[in-house]
């Protein structure tokens, strides 16, 4: 009877572990953080009177931290680049900007990367912009790495 209960206990614990992995998702790749949601980034605003971005406290807490965001590349130049915009939404063309500044992060990578179609993961040091015009980006990610995306290509 004791052996029977031990077997059932082990089986139940295994089932809970599998269920947890399915609910939470698989663990992040070695050296990569879990993805951060775009939701807090979309809550930022811009105060036109003082010409400064306005950030909620939850977003200010992310400033200077290593984050991983999933999004879409908007590359300003052809070939490989170390600077591009990461968008929460897919662009309609490689250089089209699909939404407002609260849904874009200016990325600077460690090494040049080629433009990639589809969703990519970008991990780096997240920074809030403290000044600038209404048309500039509200966020930066520096010392970044890029993974994923389909059809790596160099667009003209």
Binned at pLDDT 50, 70 and 90, residue 2 comes out as: low
Mean pLDDT of the 107-136 span: 84
Mind giving me the DSSP string for 92-149? SSTT---S-GGGEEEEEEEEEE---EEEEEEEEEEEE--S--TTS-SEEEEEEEEEEE
CATH number, span 30-150: 2.40.50.870
Asked if residue 80 lies in contact with residue 154, where contact means CB atoms within 8 angstroms, the answer is yes
Provide mean pLDDT across the span 107-114: 93
What pLDDT, in 10s, does the model give residues 9-41? 444 444 444 333 333 344 445 566 678 888 888
Identify the band that residue 139 occupies on the pLDDT scale cut at 50, 70 and 90: very high
């Amino acid at each position: 009877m004791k052996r029977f209960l031990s077997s059932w206990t082990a089986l139940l614990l295994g089932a809970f572990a599998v269920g947890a992995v399915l609910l939470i998702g698989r663990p992040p790749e070695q050296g990569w953080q879990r993805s951060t949601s775009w939701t807090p980034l979309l809550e930022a605003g811009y105060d036109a009177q003082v010409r400064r971005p306005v950030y909620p406290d939850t977003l200010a807490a992310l400033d200077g931290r290593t984050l991983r965001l999933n999004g879409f590349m908007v590359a300003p130049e052809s070939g490989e680049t170390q600077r591009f915009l990461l968008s929460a939404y897919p662009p309609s063309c490689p250089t089209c900007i699909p939404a407002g500044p609260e849904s874009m992060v200016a990325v600077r990578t460690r090494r040049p990367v080629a433009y990639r179609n589809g969703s990519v993961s970008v991990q780096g040091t997240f920074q809030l912009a403290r000044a600038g015009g209404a048309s500039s980006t509200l966020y930066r990610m520096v010392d970044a790495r890029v993974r994923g995306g389909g059809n790596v290509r160099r667009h003209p």
